């Protein structure tokens, strides 16, 4: 049986970014994101309803500030007591799982998509590769930090503002820098 481009995308295989099904799903997500961003903070109840419908799963208590951007929404899974400050970008080509009691500072970026090393496959951005991101409970990501594809962070991790996290870290650490490294244990 031939896999769909969506199935390849979610499985972390090379997939066609311009597949009509995926283009259509991104368009639907962008309409929801635009509706959310237009509301801003004028109607917090309605804006959070949009986010809860957009995401794959959420806890009861979540708060996301505008502006917010994502690719699909349905690959985003956040636990109870999730907070994302202004201007966050979460590219959810592969599943992104964020635990309970997590805080994202302003302008945090989380990417679960990459492009192939081969320049022929990379031309025009036509091919992508998804790599899941998994973030534990009680995480705090400082403003402007970037979490790259394939990263797993344990529980009670603090990511310093402006850091670029290119590899995984276990529980109870503060990481920072570019590339991020352990600054201290908690």
- For the stretch 128-169, pLDDT in tens is 999 999 999 999 999 999 999 999 999 999 999 999 999 999
Lowest mean pLDDT among 24-38, 122-136, 163-177: 122-136
Supply the pLDDT for residue 40: 86
- 83 contacts 103 by C-beta, under 8 angstroms: yes
Q: How much is the pLDDT for 8? A: 94
CATH class of 5-185: mainly beta
Q: Would you please indicate which residues are annotated as catalytic (active-site) residues?
A: 115
Give the integer Cα–Cα distance in Å for 87 and 35: 15
User: pLDDT tier at 1 (50, 70, 90 boundaries)?
Assistant: confident
**How confident is the model over 49-58, as pLDDT tens digits?**
999 999 999 9
pTM over 0.85: yes
Quick one: pLDDT at residue 122?
82
Q: Are 61 and 83 in contact (CB under 8 A)?
A: no
Which two three-digit tokens encode residue 172? 């109870």
């Amino acid at each position: 049986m031939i896999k769909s481009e969506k199935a390849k995308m979610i499985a972390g295989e090379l997939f066609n970014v311009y597949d009509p099904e995926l283009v259509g799903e991104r368009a639907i997500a962008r309409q929801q994101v635009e509706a959310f961003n237009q509301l801003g903070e004028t109607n917090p109840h309605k804006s959070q309803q949009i986010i809860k419908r957009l995401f794959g799963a959420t806890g009861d208590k979540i708060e996301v500030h505008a502006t917010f951007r994502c690719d699909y929404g349905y690959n985003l899974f956040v636990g109870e007591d999730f907070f994302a400050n202004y201007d966050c970008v979460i590219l959810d080509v592969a599943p992104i799982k964020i635990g309970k009691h997590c805080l994202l500072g302003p302008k945090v970026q989380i990417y679960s998509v990459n492009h192939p090393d081969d320049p022929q496959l990379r031309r025009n951005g036509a091919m992508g590769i998804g790599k899941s991101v998994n973030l534990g409970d009680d995480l705090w990501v400082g403003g402007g930090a970037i979490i790259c594809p394939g990263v797993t962070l344990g529980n009670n991790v603090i990511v310093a503002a402006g850091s670029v996290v290119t590899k995984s870290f276990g529980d109870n650490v503060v990481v920072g820098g570019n590339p991020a490294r352990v600054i201290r244990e908690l």
